[in-house]
Structure 1
Amino acid sequence: MNLFTDFGLRITKALEEIDVVREKRDSLDFARVAVEPPRDPAHGDVATNAAMVLSKPLGLNPRALGEIIAEKLKQDPEVADVNVAGPGFINIRLSVGYWQRLLKSIVTEGVNYGRSTVGAGRKVNVEYVSANPTGPMHVGHCRGAVVGDALANLLAFAGYDVTKEYYINDAGAQVGVLASSAYLRYREALGEEIGEIPAGLYPGDYLKPVGEALKEEFGTKLLAMPEEEWMPLVRDRAIAAMMDMIRSDLEALNVHHDIFFSERTLHAGNAGPILSAINDLTFKGHVYRGTLPPPKGQLPEDWEDREQTLFRSTEVGDDIDRPLIKSDGSYTYFAADVAYFKNKFDRGFSEMIYVLGADHGGYVKRLEAVCRAVSEGTAKLTVLLCQLVKLYRDGEPVKMSKRSGDFVTLRDVVDEVGRDSVRFMMLYRKSSEPLDFDFAKVTEQSKDNPVFYVQYAHARCASIFRQAEEAFPGITADVPAMAAAVEGISDSNEIQIIAKLAEYPRLIEQASLSQEPHRLAFYLYDLASTFHAHWNKGKDQTELRFVNDKNRESTLARLGLVHAVASVLKSGLTVTGTEAPSEMR
């Protein structure tokens, strides 16, 4: 049950009972009518701008129209009061009976409360992480991994048909460097003194096991081979080892992809998929032969002063046209991007989301241009950029990892503070803003640590249920009885908790439509805070305690409230990818 959807329908019904509205109904845009919580809870439980947005086309004063709407709404038996504020905002206060009915619905729906159909089953592809397979994942990948995974979970909960995808960049020059680095470790495994790792190669110790594995498989055979022979053998095994490591790192973070897509498949069969994509763009009039002026500032690697095959991307929103084929006849990295997008579109995705690091800001316009050209404007593409994460320990910057060579690995962070702390804190700030991550703060057990505070609220709910079970054996198993008993809930503090729970379905829809999973983390903290505050009041006011060992009915009613809180906390934590513990030690 969505309170705001419900009252949207009630307000529409009230409007259609007004003569002047009924007469001009076809010319009115009801989509502009918003139903939301008032900015100040003291003003009411629900607010609407209906009078503000409909007054002009109706030729009425906004406040006068507001008064007419208010009179209609007052006839609703579940409306306790209606008032018109300012220039015409309508504030509605709900009856206790409405809150009780809403709570009963939440208890009955359990963890499915808030699940939405706003996505209407639309296919959406969320590509995130997509780190080069050249080593362990570092903390820079961590934020994109969490944001992408939580966003995919959120969209699925909101009714989208979601595919989580990882694009393996295994066709560029960097995998050649990886192979050379692994070959050096292979020589080391054979007993050769390799000295300091040469500049340009990957220095991390994580390649030592790859060298040992090559030794076990090939012995000394690779030493006798020319580079063009050993390179593909070493490259394939090094990439496979790196992807095993990356999958393990992602597993430690509770990140799971449905598809791992290899860039190399786009170059297979004389690059058939890329050629097909270029031919498709050519057929649609987006490819031509021409020259590019030198761009301002530092020249990009793919710029060449010659006539070449270009994507007419400026006609679909890009800053400059993009080269597709290099002077040596090979395809540019951008051409692979075009083929990859076309592959997704051909797989039936009407919406694609790319979660990238902040250093990929220059890719946004070109990817949007590809989307418009390939789909002819029928698909939607969103690029979410995740800003940097800075690591601290008690306010001091964290030093680099010896294992990685030159960065802090994702596994280092997860192993030290736990995946729940990492995941929740990576969501506790909008992804477009920089994030400071302090190891000390995310492990302290206090209100200042959001993940602890939220998980503790769920554990406290479980503790209340254990206490109730001791007083009344079997009571916690009877959810239907709890749902029926919530008619006994009427205290203003308890109503405040229900009101916070009522925001959840709207929050899910808004966060999914805006593609902002951080909103869910903020909401869970606010819900936990509201719940903890009420629990603390029970220490001084015995009548507010959730368990009354002398009154089974009172306990059953309040267990319904606790069950609702626990359900929403568990639901939200599951979407964020964190646990909902029954105990905190």
Structure 2
Amino acid sequence: MTLYTRFAAHLDAALDTLVAAGDLPAGLDRANVTVEPPRDTSHGDLATNAAMVLAKPAAANPRALAEKIAAELGKLEEIESVSVAGPGFINLTLTDDTWRAELSAIRDEGSDYGRSTRGRGTTVNVEYVSANPTGPMHMGHCRGAVVGDALANLLEFAGARVIREYYVNDAGGQVDVLARSVHLRYREALGEEIGDIPEGLYPGDYLVPVGKALAAEFGDRYADAPEGEWLVLFRTRAVAAMMELIKADLALLGIHHDLFSSEAELQAAGKPEAAEAELRARGLIYDGVLEAPKGETPEDWEPVVLPLFRSTQFGDDQDRPIRKSNGQWTYFGADLAYHYQKAQTADALIDIWGADHAGTVKRIVAAVRALTGGKTRFDVKLVQMVRLLRAGEPVKMSKRAGNFVTLADVVQEVGKDVVRFTMLTRKSDAQMDFDFAKVVELSRENPVFYVQYAHARIAGLRRKTAEAGIVCGAVDLSQLDTIELDLVKIAAQFPRIIETAAAAREPHRIAFYLNDLAAAFHALYNLGNDNPERRFLITENAAITCARLFLAEAIGQIIRNGLGIMGVQAVQEMN
């Protein structure tokens, strides 16, 4: 139980007392009653809107009700004072001993501090990356990969069971283009002079080893053979080779999926037909004609009867075809079947998509709502592209990759932890610049450095304390004063940050919080620069040194917990 949930329970007990006394009617909905930090810390440590929420249904004056609630809460030993502000907000100031007890809880719970049970019993499917299997990972994929992986970690930390899934788009026309590109490299490996890569094929050198492997295995059997004899074989081998490249690239970021689902296998198993039959039986798919394109109608346009999903019933602006006129599945039809399959194994679905897919969000959300009867929560998180800079100038593209910068190149230059942390320093749907110079800058403006430096500083303090011959046994936390306990108040918000970030599906909130926590720690630590009495290590005063080290190590524990969710290693010292 976190400090905030504990005081929510205290508040519930106070409200129950008022109900028993006849000051509140029984059965009021308390769902919107909150206990949280006040916006202005000068107002206290905690605030509740209980009187404001309950006054109207209770037919009571909000301020008068607040006074009664405050009187009950004021009886708690953990509360120093209670005040009522404005029309009925209740502000609580906790005793110093309450904060010292919370500090002890941080140290006692260690790597479990902040873990929640809110998600217990829930299975969440997080589908992320899902890059087309046509080449190595590039930085356009990186941000979604990190956001998805950190979100999966966050949801697990909040108590849920998480399935990390990658959807392999191996049934579209792009994999036929890949197969033709590999066939060209295969002929090259046999000694043919291929010249410039023709327009429309993938030019990257990463296909050269695939062509060589096929040449070694099959010789010149398919060099002059018609496409129909080799296309399926080359497509299968090429996709498998590209997926190995992609998995290796993701491993550089510490990312490993639980499940790789093949679009081709999905279609071969008849899953789209099953989804169509289910929705037809419920009257949600019908045969109809799409409206003519808006504006001037093309000369070759003809009205065609197609199977249409009634997505307008679920908030979309028009009904959507699930098949093309040639009978093939549309992207939407295939996606509908894929989500139908996922919904069989999870209570909630999350898709991490590039921002260029924003136009399809409404229709797939409508489809999932229809498929699950609205019982499965479904979120689509859009991720904006990352602009790569070097000292403010755009980064040149990579010839080997085929005119894009590979994820592997970036990780090898600046390191996994820098890449992962940086990808979470902004909300996922906000534009991001990744400047190679700035992400490794040793300054306050670089949150990657600033948070890591806080942890390294704490590790250094531990070493220096031991070198000074100070051994800390039972620690007297009464040595910590109000200034130091203010840092505990920020630390104690971590469990609440976990729950709110998980509920909102926003892992960047962890990065924001850690930056704030690190800033507060550095500010407290730096007080010792001007005032020797505020130093964490005072060799002639073991009692206060041990108390401050206890505080610092608790902050270090929270930093490690938060960085662990982000997939970032906490460093012991800065190089």
TM-score, normalised to structure 1, is 0.94
Q: Identical aligned pairs, as a percentage? A: 55
Q: Which amino acid aligns with 1:232?
A: V
Deviation at 1:87, TM superposition (A): 2.1
Alpha-carbon separation, structure 2, partners of 1:470 and 1:240: 55
Alpha-carbon separation, structure 2, partners of 1:25 and 1:552: 55
CA RMSD of aligned residues (A): 2.0
Alignment of 1:126-525 (within 5 A): 126-268=126-268, 271-296=269-294, 305-346=303-344, 348-472=345-469, 475=472, 481=473, 485-525=475-515
Deviation at 1:210, TM superposition (A): 1.4
Query: What is the SS of the residue equivalent to 2:241?
Result: helix
**1:543 aligns to what?**
533
> 1:434-454: per-residue Cα shift (whole Å, max 9, x none)?
112211110111111101110
Alignment partner for residue 550 of structure 2, among 552, 560, 574? 560
Alpha-carbon separation, structure 1, partners of 2:302 and 2:485: 67
Alpha-carbon separation, structure 1, partners of 2:355 and 2:294: 21
Q: Which runs of 4+ in 1 moved over 4 A?
A: 19-23, 297-300
Deviation at 1:198, TM superposition (A): 0.9
Alpha-carbon separation, structure 2, partners of 1:399 and 1:17: 68
Query: What is the SS of the residue equivalent to 2:56?
Result: helix
Alpha-carbon separation, structure 2, partners of 1:428 and 1:520: 9
Matched, 1:570 2:560: yes
Alpha-carbon separation, structure 1, partners of 2:166 and 2:281: 30
Q: Which amino acid aligns with 1:389?
A: V
Alpha-carbon separation, structure 1, partners of 2:203 and 2:292: 36
> 1:53-75: per-residue Cα shift (whole Å, max 9, x none)?
22223333322322232222222
Query: What is the SS of the residue equivalent to 1:141?
Result: helix
Q: 1:294 to 1:489 in 2, by over 3 A?
A: farther
Gaps of 5+ in 2: none
Higher helix share: 1
**1:29 aligns to what?**
29
Alpha-carbon separation, structure 1, partners of 2:476 and 2:414: 39
Alpha-carbon separation, structure 1, partners of 2:60 and 2:193: 88
Alpha-carbon separation, structure 2, partners of 1:121 and 1:374: 22
User: Contact 2:123 / 2:160 at 8 angstroms: preserved in 1?
Assistant: yes
Query: What is the SS of the residue equivalent to 1:361?
Result: helix
Q: 1:101 to 1:297 in 2, by over 3 A?
A: farther
**2:2 aligns to what?**
2
Q: Which amino acid aligns with 2:499?
A: E
Deviation at 1:273, TM superposition (A): 1.9
Alpha-carbon separation, structure 2, partners of 1:143 and 1:239: 23
Query: What is the SS of the residue equivalent to 2:270?
Result: helix
Gaps of 5+ in 1: 476-480
Deviation at 1:299, TM superposition (A): 9.7
Q: 1:293 to 1:184 in 2, by over 3 A?
A: same
User: Contact 1:168 / 1:262 at 8 angstroms: preserved in 2?
Assistant: yes
User: Contact 1:486 / 1:560 at 8 angstroms: preserved in 2?
Assistant: no
Alpha-carbon separation, structure 2, partners of 1:459 and 1:156: 27
Q: 1:101 to 1:224 in 2, by over 3 A?
A: same
> 1:466-500: per-residue Cα shift (whole Å, max 9, x none)?
1122234764xxxxx5xx52533431221011001
Deviation at 1:50, TM superposition (A): 1.5
Alpha-carbon separation, structure 1, partners of 2:161 and 2:294: 42
> 1:144-167: per-residue Cα shift (whole Å, max 9, x none)?
111111111100100111111000
Query: What is the SS of the residue equivalent to 1:56?
Result: coil
Query: What is the SS of the residue equivalent to 2:55?
Result: helix
> 1:109-133: per-residue Cα shift (whole Å, max 9, x none)?
0111000011122011000110000
Q: Which amino acid aligns with 2:77?
A: P
Alpha-carbon separation, structure 1, partners of 2:392 and 2:296: 36
Query: What is the SS of the residue equivalent to 1:222?
Result: coil
Q: Which moved more, 1:426-435 or 1:466-475?
A: 466-475
Alpha-carbon separation, structure 2, partners of 1:545 and 1:399: 48
Q: Which amino acid aligns with 2:391?
A: D
User: Contact 1:290 / 1:308 at 8 angstroms: preserved in 2?
Assistant: yes
User: Contact 1:310 / 1:324 at 8 angstroms: preserved in 2?
Assistant: yes
Query: What is the SS of the residue equivalent to 1:75?
Result: coil
Query: What is the SS of the residue equivalent to 1:381?
Result: strand
Q: Which amino acid aligns with 2:195?
A: G
> 1:382-410: per-residue Cα shift (whole Å, max 9, x none)?
11111121121222122212222222222
User: Contact 1:49 / 1:88 at 8 angstroms: preserved in 2?
Assistant: yes
Deviation at 1:298, TM superposition (A): 10
Q: Which amino acid aligns with 1:452?
A: F
Q: 1:284 to 1:298 in 2, by over 3 A?
A: farther
Alignment of 1:12-51 (within 5 A): 12-18=12-18, 22=22, 24-51=24-51
